[in-house]
Structure 1
Amino acid sequence: MSLFNKVLASVGIGAAKVDTKLHKSTYTLNENISGVVEIIGGSTEQQIDAIYLTLHTNFIREIDDKKIKDEAVLHKYKLNEPFTIQADEKRQIPFSFSLPPVVPVTTGNSRVWIQTGLDIKNAVDPKDKDFIEIQPTRLANGVLTAIQNMGFRLRKVDNEQAPSYLRRQTPIVQEFEFTPTNSTYRRYLDELEIVFLHQSPNSVEILVQVDRRARGLGGFLSEALDMDESFIRLTFSEHDNIQAKLEQVIKTKMK
């Protein structure tokens, strides 16, 4: 019977199961994710080579001018050394790790989840998937609020493949796209796009893309040549007047 059970377990029947239990489901950047991984033995003993936790998000990749939905691994965490789980044994292993600074906020179509897997030799590896909510930091939320107070409406939020010069740091970037709603900005700008490059408890760094509205023949030629987009790199601390600083630099790009 034991040999038969081992054969069945190797194809996933009566094999060990895994269930990750998070201490909470909502986080902000720079927080630690913590919980326990519960492993329940199957109908026979099995060698667990590794338990790993991977942090995933969804994003859009462009290939030959086509937008393809994809998934990215933002962080991988190995939990333990090899051990044997006995039949019907229940074991809990606590864990804690920091959220990487590249994790996107879960708004719009953005999703973030933790996938837990058991690495079992010569067997189907059991997996578990847990979605979590990521909220912006206080400073990041201050930036987004300031832009809307200036007279912009958040039109969409997308996770996109990072440009080549950023891929060593992150596979994806999250882009917040705003459109002007008041006459001052609507006269000069088509849209405003924001990417958060780095966030810490005391500062936030952003890349702002200002897309100027075409004015006259020269303006239309600039749009056709993609010369109408200006980029601004800004860092804010907790003592900054975020809205005033944004207004000042954006207005210089409107001239």
Structure 2
Amino acid sequence: MFKKLLAAVGIGSAKVDTRLHQSRLLPGQQFEATIVVKGGDVAQKIDGIDLALMTKVKVSTDNGEYFKNHCLAKWRVAESFEVQPGEARELPFRAQLHPETPFTALPVRNNQCHVWIQTGADIDSAIDPTDADVVEILPTPVLEHVLNAMNELGFALTKADVEQGYLNAPSFRSRSGCYQELEFHPRSFGFSSLREVEISLVCDETETHLLIELDRAFRGDGYTAFSLANNASASEVLTKLKHYIR
């Protein structure tokens, strides 16, 4: 009885650990994991195990800005089962990242983009064990081309974050409830009237959609939206950006 009471408050209870086979992934990429359940001192019923793909989003309000966790996708790994004392059970799992998963491996000092896999086990009458595994989301080839093109056009990436909300343009709309925003500033102002360029991204299986906001010193702000094929070449991306960023 005493051991059961301890397990009910999270002492000597079952533990759940997710082991990702890969921690560096691309948006939309398939991944594999092994969920390890280790029994505690007493038998326990686990009502289910879930994995969630999480990110941190910036929320803008009239009273200021703050960050909160946002779920991009959720998967049920296992239904109800009982784990025995000292038992070690391994559950293989395979799934696909959401195509709009924000990039985190970016060449910028002020990087506010974070992605992780959260594991939750619903254990009857006990504190739910949770486990978080950071995932590094690599730039796709077309995003690499965008970053290189902006550098060639004289702009440095200075900030990256993930905004809460939906990005709407005439030809595309985000679906995940958030979107990534990259902020660029000219390395030298010279004769350019552009003070800042913000590129908001929405990725899908075949294209990368861009909404560009131009902050001009004399002509006011300007907006444009277009899409790039995910297999677009570096020269195609540079030509496109040259046309719109001026």
TM-score by length of structure 2 reads 0.88
Counterpart in the other structure of 2:226: 234
Counterpart in the other structure of 1:71: 69
Task: Answer whether contact 2:54 2:73 (CA < 8 A) is retained.
Answer: yes
Q: Secondary structure at the match of 2:13?
A: coil
Structure 2 residue 182 is matched with structure 1 residue 179: no
Structure 2 counterparts to residues 180-199 of structure 1, below 5 A:
180-181=186-187, 187-199=192-204
Residues 88/14 of structure 1: CA separation in 2 closer, same or farther (3 Å cut): same
Task: Answer whether contact 2:56 2:162 (CA < 8 A) is retained.
Answer: yes
Compute the displacement of 1:155 (Å): 1.4
Residues 168/47 of structure 1: CA separation in 2 closer, same or farther (3 Å cut): farther
Residue 56 of structure 1 aligns to which amino acid in structure 2?
M
- What RMSD in Å do the two structures reach over aligned CA positions? 2.0
Q: For 2:174 and 2:160, how far apart are their aligned partners in 1? A: 23
Residue 143 of structure 2 aligns to which amino acid in structure 1?
A
User: Larger C-alpha radius of gyration, 1 or 2?
Assistant: 1
Structure 2 counterparts to residues 37-76 of structure 1, below 5 A:
37-76=35-74
Q: Alignment length, in residue pairs? A: 235
Structure 2 residue 211 is matched with structure 1 residue 207: yes
Runs of 4 or more consecutive aligned structure 1 residues displaced over 6 Å after TM superposition: none
Q: Secondary structure at the match of 1:79?
A: strand
Picking from 167, 170, 177, the partner of 2:176 is: 170
Task: Answer whether contact 1:19 1:38 (CA < 8 A) is retained.
Answer: yes
Picking from 11, 14, 31, the partner of 2:12 is: 14
Q: For 2:30 and 2:43, how far apart are their aligned partners in 1? A: 33
Counterpart in the other structure of 1:122: 125
TM-score by length of structure 1 reads 0.85
Structure 2 residue 239 is matched with structure 1 residue 247: no
Q: For 2:151 and 2:51, how far apart are their aligned partners in 1? A: 37
Residue 213 of structure 1 aligns to which amino acid in structure 2?
A
Counterpart in the other structure of 2:91: 93
Compute the displacement of 1:33 (Å): 2.1
Task: Answer whether contact 1:139 1:203 (CA < 8 A) is retained.
Answer: no
Q: For 2:116 and 2:232, how far apart are their aligned partners in 1? A: 33
Q: For 2:34 and 2:207, how far apart are their aligned partners in 1? A: 32
Residues 183/67 of structure 1: CA separation in 2 closer, same or farther (3 Å cut): closer
Counterpart in the other structure of 1:222: none
Gaps of 5+ in 1: 220-227
Residues 196/168 of structure 1: CA separation in 2 closer, same or farther (3 Å cut): closer
Counterpart in the other structure of 1:144: 147
Q: Secondary structure at the match of 1:19?
A: strand
Residue 4 of structure 2 aligns to which amino acid in structure 1?
K
Compute the displacement of 1:163 (Å): 4.5
